[in-house]
Structure 1
Amino acid sequence: MKFGRKTPPPRWWHSGDPGRTAFFNALSSTFPVGEKFFMTSVRHFRDGTPEPLRSQIDDFLYQESMHSREHVVFNRQAEDAGYDIAPLEERARRTIAWVKRRSPIQQLAATCALEHFTATLAHDALADPAHLDGATGEAKRLWQWHAIEEVEHKAVAFDTYLHAARDMTRLRRWLKRSTVMFVTTVRFHYVIFRNTADLLRQDGCNNFATWRRLLGYLYGRPGPLRLLLKGVFVYMRPGFHPWELDDRPLLAKSLALLEQPRSRAA
């Protein structure tokens, strides 16, 4: 699928609100470099994996490459709307470069953590329309499509990690993924909030009133980051697996809505 080629989103495409728009643009600015990192870290262990996991990895790589393509376009549209995205992308590159100095298994564990973030945000966006209510038609469809595919492949990196770390004790596997999740959570919030602040500053809206409304959205209702932090504690539980939450019915419902003609979905 391709989005927004004919009708690029307006500057404040989410609800006409600079804060919500800045938050999602801040997320999008990290996706191309982040998804390339996910692909590299999972591909590193592909050849040693059994079927059906190997085929799932191939599908994961294809989906992530398509996400990167669409968010490159989305980010360029944000630039066309007047935003300077380059500092945000550079901040994401520096963070990924820092992670790449770690061992391959630690990089894979970081991918598992970030994939859990995207799957959690994706599930909540699909389950509660309030997350994207007010977004313009094509931008909304882009984020819904991305959410569907993130849920579809939410266990691929995690299953690859379980296979790659199969010779570790259960305690060591759990400690490694939990420690990496804690560090990733801190870094993620730092990057996203710095990126959001940069965009709000460009709008002349980096002030208390804007942040009060945005934090109410992020941690109140619908609360994407509140739910994300809840998901972090779920992830750190021994014995966790992404598919213990079976959201296939939600995927089927969301995909049916996405496949409606654009004139009806707008």
Structure 2
Amino acid sequence: MARRTQTPSELAINKRDWKFGRGESTRRWWHGGDPGRTAFYNALSSTFPVGEKFFMTAIRPYRDDTAEPLRSQIDDFMYQESTHSREHVFFNRQARDAGYDIQPGEDRAARTIAWARRRPPIVQLAATCALEHFTAAMAHAALANPEHLGPADPEARNMWRWHAIEEIEHKAVAYDTWNHATRDMPRVRRWLLRSVVMATASARLHYVLFRNTAELLAQDGKNDWRTWLRLLGYLYRRPGMMRVVLVSMIGYFRPGFHPWEVDDRALVSSALATLAPPGGAVAA
């Protein structure tokens, strides 16, 4: 049975071949001189290259069975994810140049993805939906409140905001693909499967993210309770990105959920108006 999508019919998922930080060095504590915030974002970035490749391979098998406009949206999704992967590979290289060993974090993320790849294809697609919801919630928080990235070095801040813009643009592509792929699945089974996968993906992601953060803090001699109290206050109190994410994740478990229940296209337009394309690229 076909399911109606809440994705706006006029939605634009733009292809922006933007490159950040080329020819520039990065401060070791690039996020406002704060080791905790820097470690958190570096830890998050260490998961993206392998994670985004997983998203593309999880959604690609379903492309040819879909109709327009979803088929073209899948193509645009894969383009955006490929550029995100490229930019985070470069960002991670800058973290290495600043003196961090992020290989253990990348290896940990790779092991988690390898575990996910051993699941059936429909479960891999469900995991992509769950993690795309996680990144879209973070993206909304980052763009809605400038406190999240305000103190960061300009080029790093621009890269993360660009990534956030595109995560919002394509936030429902995996979910609409899931709805199409499971159109003949009983509703209760569909809901149960995506809910179990969300709970599992969330637990594994939080473990990887905070374990990676702790390792990076240890390299600075800052893996102590003072640094963690400050970081957790930043993440869960004010501005509270992870608090916003957790609230959003709870909504994911509701039957009938759809990512475009929250229409944040105006937020994207506002962010684009203040984001200068790097290196003379054309804004879109």
Q: Provide TM-score, normalisation by structure 2.
A: 0.91
Give the residue type in structure 1 aligned to 2:21: G
- The 2-side partners of 1:203 and 1:260 are apart by 33
Alignment match, 1:248: 265
Q: Does 1:24 align with 2:50?
A: no
Change (3 A) 1:68 1:261: closer
| Structure 2 counterpart of 1:165, from 162, 167, 182 | 182
| Structure 1 counterpart of 2:154, from 122, 131, 137 | 137
For residues 19-168 of structure 1, the aligned pairs below 5 Å read 19-168=36-185
1:15 CA drift (Å): 1.1
| Deviation by residue 1:80-115 (Cα, 9 ceiling, x = unmatched) | 000001110000000000111100000000000000
Q: Tell me if the contact between 1:9 and 1:138 (Cα under 8 Å) persists in the aligned partners.
A: no
| Structure 2 counterpart of 1:237, from 254, 264, 277 | 254
1:163 CA drift (Å): 0.4
Give structure 1 stretches of 5+ with no counterpart. Answer: none
Change (3 A) 1:175 1:83: same
1:261 CA drift (Å): 8.0
Q: Tell me if the contact between 2:19 and 2:278 (Cα under 8 Å) persists in the aligned partners.
A: no
Q: Tell me if the contact between 1:32 and 1:72 (Cα under 8 Å) persists in the aligned partners.
A: yes
Give the residue type in structure 2 aligned to 1:246: D
Range that drifts further, 196-205 or 4-13 = 4-13
| Deviation by residue 1:233-264 (Cα, 9 ceiling, x = unmatched) | 111111000001011111111011113789xx
Alignment match, 1:220: 237
- The 2-side partners of 1:36 and 1:215 are apart by 29
Give the residue type in structure 2 aligned to 1:166: R
Q: Tell me if the contact between 1:13 and 1:21 (Cα under 8 Å) persists in the aligned partners.
A: yes
- The 1-side partners of 2:33 and 2:162 are apart by 21
1:7 CA drift (Å): 1.9
Change (3 A) 1:261 1:154: closer
- The 1-side partners of 2:171 and 2:143 are apart by 14
Alignment match, 1:190: 207
Q: Tell me if the contact between 1:30 and 1:89 (Cα under 8 Å) persists in the aligned partners.
A: yes
Give structure 2 stretches of 5+ with no counterpart. Answer: 1-17, 280-284
| Structure 1 counterpart of 2:225, from 197, 204, 208 | 208
- The 1-side partners of 2:210 and 2:274 are apart by 31
| Structure 2 counterpart of 1:15, from 32, 35, 57 | 32
1:133 CA drift (Å): 1.4
Q: Tell me if the contact between 2:49 and 2:85 (Cα under 8 Å) persists in the aligned partners.
A: yes
Tell me which protein shows more helix as a share of its residues. 1
- The 1-side partners of 2:107 and 2:151 are apart by 30
| Deviation by residue 1:161-188 (Cα, 9 ceiling, x = unmatched) | 0001111011111111111001111101
Percent of aligned pairs sharing the same letter: 68
Q: Tell me if the contact between 2:135 and 2:167 (Cα under 8 Å) persists in the aligned partners.
A: yes
Give the residue type in structure 2 aligned to 1:124: A
Count of aligned pairs: 262
1:31 CA drift (Å): 0.3
Q: Provide TM-score, normalisation by structure 1.
A: 0.97
Change (3 A) 1:260 1:31: closer
- The 2-side partners of 1:224 and 1:247 are apart by 16
CA RMSD of the aligned region, Å?
A: 1.0
Q: Tell me if the contact between 2:132 and 2:174 (Cα under 8 Å) persists in the aligned partners.
A: yes
- The 2-side partners of 1:231 and 1:179 are apart by 16
1:226 CA drift (Å): 0.9
